Amino acid sequence: MATGKIRYWAAAKEAAGVAEETFDAVTLSELMTKITADRSELARVVRRCSFLVDGAPVGKRPHDEVALGDGVTVEVLPPFAGG
């Protein structure tokens, strides 16, 4: 099980109620399941988000194929207005 930090931005931060928190998860999919359990507003927001893992965009890769290593930082980025 990998441990790391997840950072929330904008609407994700508001829905999570915190700017960041630690996690234990092996894949991005597992992490999303854990952080959205009992947090329906966060679950709604993260469906529209993009993600960075240690600064690298996840893009359209399936979240169950995105492995998380120890000490990784995952950033949750909601769509931003503007250009």
What's the CATH number where 29 sits? Answer: 3.10.20.30
Q: Are residues 56 and 25 in contact, defined by beta-carbon separation less than 8 angstroms?
A: no
Domain count, the chain: 1
Q: Which structural domain range is residue 34 located in?
A: 2-77
Within a domain: 82 = no
For the stretch 3-59, pLDDT in tens is 999 999 999 999 999 999 999 999 999 999 999 999 999 999 999 999 999 999 999
Residue 80 — pLDDT band, cuts 50, 70, 90?
confident
Q: Is 33 part of a structural domain of the chain?
A: yes
Q: Which two tokens stand for residue 57?
A: 């965009």
Query: What pLDDT, on a 0 to 100 scale, did the predictor assign at position 79?
Result: 86
- Computed from CA positions of residues 32, 35, 41, 46, in that sequence, does the dihedral angle turn out positive or negative? negative
pTM of this prediction? Answer: 0.92
Residue 83 counted as domain residue: no
Would the pLDDT of 1 be above 90?
no
Q: Is residue 31 part of a domain?
A: yes
